[in-house]
Amino acid sequence: MPHSVHPNDDIAALGKFGLIRHLTKDIRLRNKSTESGVGDDAAVLDYGSKKIVVTTDMLTEGIHFNLEYSPLKHLGYKAAVVGFSDVYAMNANPKQLLVSIAVSARFKISMIDLLYEGLLLACDKYNVDLVGGDTSSSITGMTISVTVLGEAENDKITYRNGACMNDLICLSGDLGAAYMGLQVLERERRLYRENPESQPDLTEYNYILERQLKPEARGDIIRTLRETAIQPTSMIDISDGLSSDILHICKESNAGCKIFADKVPIHTATNAAAEEFSIEPLIAALNGGEDYELLFTVPLSDFGKISAQPGISVIGHITETGGKALLVTPNGNTIELKAQGWNAIN
């Protein structure tokens, strides 16, 4: 059987995005109804009067979730919301959900019921129909695959590749909380293993725990954009961290950016937990991920409209074609953003 061996055959060396680029580099689209395929938050299909977007995510136990501290109902809710977030990131609205699960023999019906309670709660809240799926066995653990379809007006779809020089970079909500929530959960898991009798009071961490275990997708921002007649030039949701995600926009739009560190919104609860864990809060915001906030660009002429919206921060602007993605620190230094971590350049 013929096959081409990659110079370095190790998946870890390529990374997730490298692997996806490698696997999809030769794909050619042939159907009229396929408007856009791999490479954005969702694919875009044209079946007539409206555009359909479709996105799929796979979550595996031990990699994306840990059932030691993720209640199954929360997990179901989060799995659905993560898919809805990808649809919103196309400036579209989620409409249908398909969920496949594979579970090993240790899972009982009542456990799957809890997962579905969470899925259906998310469907209720976001007005989405669960229309299909698959259930199957696995040798070990649980795997969840979520596919979401959404719809948008023809001229509303927003890709990652439309950001232009001087566009404002906008962000909903705040960043870094989900990552700090994860740190608390990991610490409590270790403490519980050492002392199963412990009954910790986690009230002070409510905000960051909820951001990790039961995040929301920002459909309200999509409604705001529509109501204020703001058409973003590019958009992505923050799943991998601000650094990675603004780099996706810059790369796809072939542009640089400046992000101002002191404009990056961080919740007081995130700051407090970061201090407790001796983590720089900005690092949690840049690299933590799982915030499911919307990062988007708008023309400079929309500054008045966008800055009047509560819960949306203008954190920087797009710079010249082929430029670098830079973080400007409060003392005026610039640091080049990297997909994971950052490297000082001056």
Query: Which residues within the stretch 88-117 sit at the binding site for a copy of itself (CB under 8 A)?
Result: 95-96, 98, 100-103, 105, 107-110, 112-114, 116-117
Interacting stretch for a copy of itself, rule CB under 8 A, among 1-9, 205-213, 222-230, 274-282? 1-9
Q: Are strands 234-237 and 325-328 parallel, antiparallel or unpaired?
A: unpaired
Q: Which of residues 130-159 bind a copy of itself (CB under 8 A)?
A: 130-141, 143, 145, 147, 149, 151
Name the E strands within 219-333: 234-237, 255-260, 294-298, 312-321, 325-328
Residue 55 binds a copy of itself (CB under 8 A): yes
Helix axes 177-194, 268-276, angle to 10 degrees: 40
Nearer to a copy of itself, 6 or 189 (CB): 6
From the CB of 240, what's the least distance to a copy of itself, in Å? 12
Nearer to a copy of itself, 32 or 332 (CB): 32
Nearer to a copy of itself, 47 or 277 (CB): 47
Nearer to a copy of itself, 131 or 345 (CB): 131
CA 171/CA 315 separation, integer angstroms: 7
Spatial contact of 192 and 267, defined as CB atoms under 8 Å apart: no
Residue 68 binds a copy of itself (CB under 8 A): no
Nearer to a copy of itself, 146 or 326 (CB): 146
Residue 339 binds a copy of itself (CB under 8 A): no
CA 233/CA 243 separation, integer angstroms: 19
How many residues contact a copy of itself, by CB under 8 A? 86
Residue type, 98: L
Nearer to a copy of itself, 14 or 272 (CB): 14
Spatial contact of 135 and 70, defined as CB atoms under 8 Å apart: no
From the CB of 64, what's the least distance to a copy of itself, in Å? 7
Q: What is the DSSP letter of 264?
A: S
Nearer to a copy of itself, 8 or 268 (CB): 8
b/e sequence 153-192, b meaning 16+ C-beta within 10 Å? eeebbbbbbbbeeebbbbbbbbbbbbbbbbbbbeebeeee
DSSP state letters, 202-221: -GGGHHHHHHHHS----HHH
Q: Which of residues 157-196 bind a copy of itself (CB under 8 A)?
A: none
Interacting stretch for a copy of itself, rule CB under 8 A, among 122-130, 175-183, 205-213, 270-278? 122-130
Binding mask 4-23 for a copy of itself (x = CB under 8 A): xxx-xxxxx-x-x--xx-xx
